[in-house]
Structure 1
Amino acid sequence: MSDLQPSVLVVEDEPAQREVLVYNLESEGFRVIKAADGTEALLLADEEKPDIVLLDWMLPGTSGIEVCRQIKMKPALRMTPVIMISARTEEVDKVRGLETGADDYVTKPYSVLELLARVKTQLRRSRPASVGERLNFEDILLDSETHKVFRGQNELKLGPTEFRLLSTFMEKPGRVWSREQLLDRVWGRDIYVDTRTVDVHIGRLRKALSRHGGDDPIRTVRGAGYALG
């Protein structure tokens, strides 16, 4: 697991099961957010924008199916993978879960190792750098396992913050990131940093990327933020 710590929202009302999941996910390097019911889950999903959601079907109050439906309706969360966990083993239930927008469906009792493998499979699609994948954009190659960046034949020297910024951009080329979104993703939610700090590090990243020639691949979108390409 790379140091771009992915966040998992675990929604499970059974405390013992929830703690088993939390323990195993944290051991694998995930940042875990916990919710015990559907209402709390939707609140935390909005606030935290997790990278993936593990969602129990049977919850008090708002059901897992309804939580999944609402998550997938929100533009900011629509692409967030949801793995539905359920004691319902009938095919019709699995189909219903997937039709509601779940990206995967795991039945109880499940193997924690298998569940972790499924989490990583989903993250490989949505946040490849966080699970050690190599990312390519035009002539730029970022290897999140070895922490190396190349442009053409040249290896670039990047500081840790610039590396995380570039990873974020390369996971979603073309996407416009606001300064606030970059602060959340790169610096973390709990750290207070001035938004101007983002501009300083973008400047450093641009300099590093163009050190051996080549166009500046980072685009400033006036009033919105920054994008790659």
Structure 2
Amino acid sequence: MPKILLVEDNEMNRDMLSRRLVRGGYEVIIAEDGARGVAIATSDRPDLILMDMSLPVIDGWEATRQIKATPELRKIPIIALTAHAMATDRDKALKAGCDDYDTKPIELQRLLGKIETLLAATGQWRS
């Protein structure tokens, strides 16, 4: 069962998305801020990270940079989740090291497709 780290500070978003991912067959671990996200990524080594960009303590941009700068974590795919839908926000997320980008509100089927594509690329996808 692929393990997904969900880094999201909004409790309602976190609960809704984590329940849907668990129903979809994923193990979900949760961090409420960017610093905790980096710590959990380091200790738990998830197969994929869903990273909110507007986070307390350290934001998602910086958390992504820290994760991608760590050699043993560099290959973990990260999908940026943000309410910012401008093209420049997508570019900023990719430049920070995110492997993909999705906007809020989350459209679950689209996000699941992105998750499955990235997990398949790392050999973690479970068809």
Report the TM range for the smaller structure's normalisation.
over 0.9
- Looking at structure 2, the residues matched to 118 and 81 of structure 1 have their Cα atoms a distance apart, in angstroms, of 10
Letter in 1 for 2:29: I
Matched, 1:101 2:97: yes
One of 111, 114, 119 as aligned partner of 1:118: 114
* SS of equivalent to 1:131: coil
Give how far 1:116 is off. Answer: 1.2
One of 50, 57, 70 as aligned partner of 2:53: 57
- Looking at structure 1, the residues matched to 86 and 28 of structure 2 have their Cα atoms a distance apart, in angstroms, of 30
Partner of residue 176, structure 1: none
Matched, 1:6 2:2: yes
Partner of residue 19, structure 2: 23
* SS of equivalent to 1:53: strand
Q: Could you report, residue by residue, the CA deviation over 1:141-185 in whole angstroms, capped at 9, with x for unpaired residues?
A: xxxxxxxxxxxxxxxxxxxxxxxxxxxxxxxxxxxxxxxxxxxxx
TM-score (norm 1): 0.54
Partner of residue 42, structure 1: 38
Q: Could you report, residue by residue, the CA deviation over 1:24-70 in whole angstroms, capped at 9, with x for unpaired residues?
A: 11011111000000111111000000000000000012000000001
* SS of equivalent to 2:49: strand
- Asked if the contact 1:51–1:127 (Cα under 8 Å) also holds between the matched residues in 2, the reply is no
Give how far 1:127 is off. Answer: 2.3
Partner of residue 85, structure 2: 89
Question: Which residues of structure 1 form unaligned runs of 5+?
Answer: 133-229
- Asked if the contact 1:57–1:64 (Cα under 8 Å) also holds between the matched residues in 2, the reply is yes
Between Structure 1 and Structure 2, how many residues are aligned?
A: 127
Letter in 2 for 1:131: R
Give how far 1:110 is off. Answer: 2.3
Give how far 1:93 is off. Answer: 1.2
- Looking at structure 1, the residues matched to 88 and 21 of structure 2 have their Cα atoms a distance apart, in angstroms, of 29
Matched, 1:131 2:94: no
Percent identity over paired residues: 36
Q: Report matched runs for 1:165-204 at 5 Å.
A: none
Question: Which residues of structure 2 form unaligned runs of 5+?
Answer: none
Q: Which runs of 4+ in 1 moved over 6 A?
A: none
**Which protein has greater RCO, CA pairs closer than 8 Å, 6+ apart?**
2
- Asked if the contact 1:38–1:67 (Cα under 8 Å) also holds between the matched residues in 2, the reply is yes
